[in-house]
Structures are given as structure tokens and as C-alpha cells.
């Protein structure tokens, strides 16, 4: 749960908290819905008492649960980045956005990813505003996003034998839309993003914001053939984590043929 901390004393304390490492026991917090973050949030108030890593059975169970699940989350993040050896030629099933959502619901409980082709367009591509971060440092050891506050890879830092070196890569979230609906926050990263946008990360960083806007409009609302990988994830928006494996402007004839014969249900 999101925790909102406002007073100085608690802020100092909170700075020592490690994501997925620290268990916090808080009494007398105010719980309400945070519209900005779109989730429930606990706010520290004057009566709040916070115990960090309490030595209780509940805390130990929670910590063990997080540790056990950490590995799969990380694998999930990194493998999509390091592009596992999925041969795109083996992906042949064409879906609409709605069909993918239905399939995901039916798949519920299964952790296996599934793949498909969408003839859709990118409806949101925030590469030209200053607010949205689209470039991030990744660890060359594991491909995981580097923690910006500490400038370390939280995965590799415990292994001091590993030399930590980082490289910049695209980390863009896009919305994909077709006539049946929208898949939000699909990740477009690394070399796949470079291939899609037709420029390297360094070329992109050298662009002015006008050039970035121009680049964006080359793709926005253009029908594309998009290979996606979907994983059910309770952490993702809509319960579905979508990674783009390939995105190219679609051949109009091929697209209309496939849209006409939407065979999959």
C-alpha cells in the first residue's frame, strides 16, 4: 500500500525503508483512497506509531512471502527487457484488444505468458513531454532498472563480486487501441523501442522537443502490426502486463484482411 508521510521525523524514518525489504507496522494511520495514484493510501497522522521490521510472526510471514515472490517479479521484468528467445515467427494468432482481455481473464491463475498479434495503433506515446520519463538507466548485469535514489541495482548490489555498470535505455509506456478497446501502459523498451521509433537512444537524447513531437506523430494513430507478450500480474494496471515485442506500421491490405476475419475467440 502507498504510504504518505508528511512530517519531518517520519520522513527521516521512511528514508531507511527498502522496497520489498522493510516491513512496517503502523498503528493509527488514516486510510483513504488516493485519487492521484489511483490506489488506497495510508497517511501518517500525529497519533501514528510506526514500528520498522517488528519481530512478530505476521511480519516474518510477510517478509518471507515478499522474498519468495521477489525473484519472479524480477525475472518478469528482466526477461522482457533482455528479449527472451521468442521467435516472432512462432506467434501467429491475431487478436483484437477485447479478445486479448477476454483471453487474459480465462487464463486467470496461470502464470505462463501468452503471445499475440494486434493490428492496432499507438494512442498514447509520451516521448516529447518533460514530465514523463522515457529513458532510464539499466544494470548491464541483469537488465533491471537502476534505483535512481541510490544509483545502484537493487538486484546485484548484494553480490559485490559483480561490477555494477549501467546503460541508458528506452522505457516507454504506450497505449494500444483498436476498434474494440485500449490496452493501457504497454511497455516498449530497449532495442525494441529503438527499432520501433527508428532511432537509437543517443539520437533520441540529442533531439529537440519539436523533433520528438514530430517523431511521435509518425506513429500515433497509424495502424501498426504489434507483437505482444501478456502476463497476468496483480501489480499491473488492469491486471495485465503487456510488453511489446515488435511494432511496425502495418501493411494496409494485410491489416484489413486480418481485421475482417477476426477468427479467434
Residues in contact with Zn ion by the rule CB under 5 A? 139, 141-142, 153, 155-156
Taking the C-alpha atoms of 19, 20, 26 and 29 in order, what is their torsion angle to the nearest 10 degrees? 60
Identify the CA nearest to 15 among candidates 42, 50, 40.
50
* Min separation Cβ 202 and Zn ion, Å: 22
What is the CA angle 244-247-253, rounded to 5? 135
Which is nearer to Zn ion, 141 or 195 (by Cβ)? 141
Q: Which helix (H) or strand (E) holds 173?
A: strand 166-178
Which is nearer to Zn ion, 50 or 156 (by Cβ)? 156
* Min separation Cβ 52 and Zn ion, Å: 26
Identify the CA nearest to 189 among candidates 115, 97, 265, 83.
83
* Min separation Cβ 235 and Zn ion, Å: 20
Residue nearest to Zn ion (CB): 139
Which is nearer to Zn ion, 154 or 258 (by Cβ)? 154
Strands 166-178 and 114-125: antiparallel
Which is nearer to Zn ion, 164 or 262 (by Cβ)? 164
Which is nearer to Zn ion, 43 or 140 (by Cβ)? 140
Q: Please report the DSSP string for 127-170 in residue order.
A: -SSSSS--EEEEETTT-PBPBTTTTB-TTTTT-TTS---EEEEE
Answer yes or no: are the C-beta atoms of 115 and 245 closer than 8 Å. yes
Q: Which helix (H) or strand (E) holds 22?
A: none
* Min separation Cβ 116 and Zn ion, Å: 30
* Min separation Cβ 163 and Zn ion, Å: 10
Strand order in the sheet with 24-34: 2-4, 39-52, 24-34
Count Cβ atoms within 10 A of the Cβ of residue 107 and give its class: 0-12 exposed, 13-18 middle, 19 or more buried. Answer: middle
Which is nearer to Zn ion, 120 or 155 (by Cβ)? 155
Answer yes or no: are the C-beta atoms of 249 and 87 closer than 8 Å. no
* Min separation Cβ 66 and Zn ion, Å: 19
* Min separation Cβ 208 and Zn ion, Å: 33
Which is nearer to Zn ion, 23 or 156 (by Cβ)? 156
Amino acid at each position: 500500500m502507498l504510504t504518505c508521510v508528511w512530517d519531518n521525523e517520519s520522513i527521516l524514518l521512511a528514508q531507511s525503508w527498502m522496497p520489498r525489504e522493510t516491513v512496517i507496522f503502523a498503528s493509527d494511520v488514516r486510510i483513504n483512497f488516493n485519487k492521484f495514484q489511483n490506489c488506497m493510501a495510508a497517511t501518517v497522522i500525529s497519533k501514528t506509531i510506526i514500528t520498522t521490521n517488528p519481530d512478530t510472526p505476521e511480519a516474518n510471514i510477510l517478509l518471507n512471502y515478499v522474498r519468495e515472490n521477489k525473484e519472479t517479479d524480477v525475472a518478469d521484468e528482466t526477461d522482457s527487457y533482455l528479449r527472451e528467445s521468442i521467435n516472432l515467427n512462432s506467434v501467429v494468432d491475431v487478436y483484437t484488444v477485447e479478445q486479448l482481455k477476454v483471453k487474459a481473464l480465462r487464463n486467470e491463475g496461470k502464470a505462463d505468458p501468452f503471445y499475440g498479434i494486434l493490428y492496432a495503433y499507438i494512442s498514447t506515446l509520451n516521448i516529447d513531454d518533460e514530465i514523463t520519463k522515457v529513458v532510464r538507466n539499466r544494470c548491464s548485469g541483469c537488465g533491471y532498472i537502476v534505483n535512481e535514489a541510490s544509483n545502484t541495482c537493487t538486484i546485484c548490489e548484494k553480490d559485490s563480486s559483480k561490477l555494477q555498470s549501467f546503460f541508458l535505455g528506452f522505457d516507454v509506456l504506450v497505449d494500444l487501441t483498436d476498434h474494440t478497446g485500449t490496452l493501457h501502459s504497454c511497455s516498449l523498451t530497449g532495442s525494441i523501442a529503438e527499432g520501433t521509433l527508428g532511432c537509437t537512444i543517443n539520437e533520441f537524447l540529442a533531439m529537440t522537443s519539436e523533433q520528438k513531437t514530430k517523431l511521435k506523430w509518425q506513429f500515433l494513430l497509424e495502424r501498426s502490426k504489434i507483437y505482444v507478450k501478456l502476463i497476468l500480474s496483480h501489480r499491473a494496471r488492469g491486471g495485465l502486463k503487456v510488453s511489446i515485442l515488435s511494432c511496425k506500421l502495418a501493411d494496409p491490405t494485410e491489416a484489413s484482411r486480418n481485421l475482417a476475419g477476426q477468427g479467434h475467440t
